[in-house]
Amino acid sequence: MPIARDVVAMIEVEIKARASTDALADVLKRRGAEFEKTVVQSDTYYNAPHRDFAETDEAVRIREQDGRAYLTYKGKKIDAQSKTRKEVEVAVENKARMEDILLSLGFRKTLDVIKTRSIYHYGGVEICLDRIEGLGEFVELESMAENASEIPQKRDGLIALMRELGVEGGQIRESYLEMLMAKKFFI
């Protein structure tokens, strides 16, 4: 019985900022953005036995969403102006068994990140309005690049769209995991 299927590997170009999700949902509706769905994502993060992901800027997680589970590896950020990084994700048939494999290999649970995410599509961009338990409300704009040469154009387009949507304040390059860890341990 196979454990995994549907392997995906791309460069995720992403920007994030704090935002009122209700206000931004209204803006997106007025602009004709396509609402996809609202989901609850429960992410359990793990640290590796052979290196500290907090130091290497990597992440491994198991995400539960809509009764399914996914194992994801996120590589180091590769762009100084965004959260762009390589991402590899695979569906797993059994979350408990996948977690048992990771723990048996010496990985350690780090933290859980629980989010309610409303997903919209606008102009070829995925827009996520996130409510993160213990952190608050955020917006993420995401586009996928097939290679590094596409990153600047994709990133600049996301930044321009963020401005068009009226999102004020600076971009946040830290992941929700990093932000929750800093809050939990007062880093």
pTM of the model: 0.85
Give which of 88, 78, 82 is closest to 158, Cα–Cα. Answer: 82
CB-based contacts of 8, cutoff 8 Å, min separation 6: 87, 88, 89, 90
Give the C-alpha separation, 54 to 182, whole Å: 11
Burial code (b: 16+ CB inside 10 Å, e: under 16) for 115-133 equals bebbbbebeebebbbbbbe
Instruction: Give me the catalytic one of 45, 46, 120, 176.
Output: 45
Active site residue 122: no
- Encode the chain (187 residues) as per-residue pLDDT tens digits: 333 445 445 788 889 999 999 999 999 999 999 999 999 999 999 999 999 998 888 999 999 999 999 999 998 877 776 777 788 999 999 999 999 999 999 999 999 999 999 999 999 999 999 999 999 999 999 998 888 888 899 999 999 999 999 998 788 988 999 999 998 876 5
Which two tokens mark 31?
A: 């602009």
Architecture of domain 4-185: Beta Barrel (2.40)
Q: What are the domain boundaries of the chain?
A: 4-185
Give the C-alpha separation, 66 to 36, whole Å: 14
Give the C-alpha separation, 138 to 131, whole Å: 7
R_g of the chain, CA atoms, integer Å = 17
